[in-house]
Amino acid sequence: MLTKKQKKVLDFIETFTSKNGISPTHNEMRKYLKLSSVSTVNHYI
């Protein structure tokens, strides 16, 4: 089962990929989630 934050990351990846045809970078995910560190993105994915 996913946490709320993991679900938010997954939804962003799916939407971004659908719109752009490629996966978002870790930095794009960081900005979307308003995180200060890319390593935190790694934790959620």
Domain boundaries, the chain: 4-44
Q: Quick: pLDDT tens for 1-38.
A: 999 999 999 999 999 999 999 999 999 999 999 999 99
44 has a pLDDT exceeding 90: no
37's tokens: 């560190």
Residues across the chain? 45
Torsion of CA 29, 45, 1, 10, to 10 degrees: 30
pTM exceeds 0.75 = yes
45 has a pLDDT exceeding 90: no
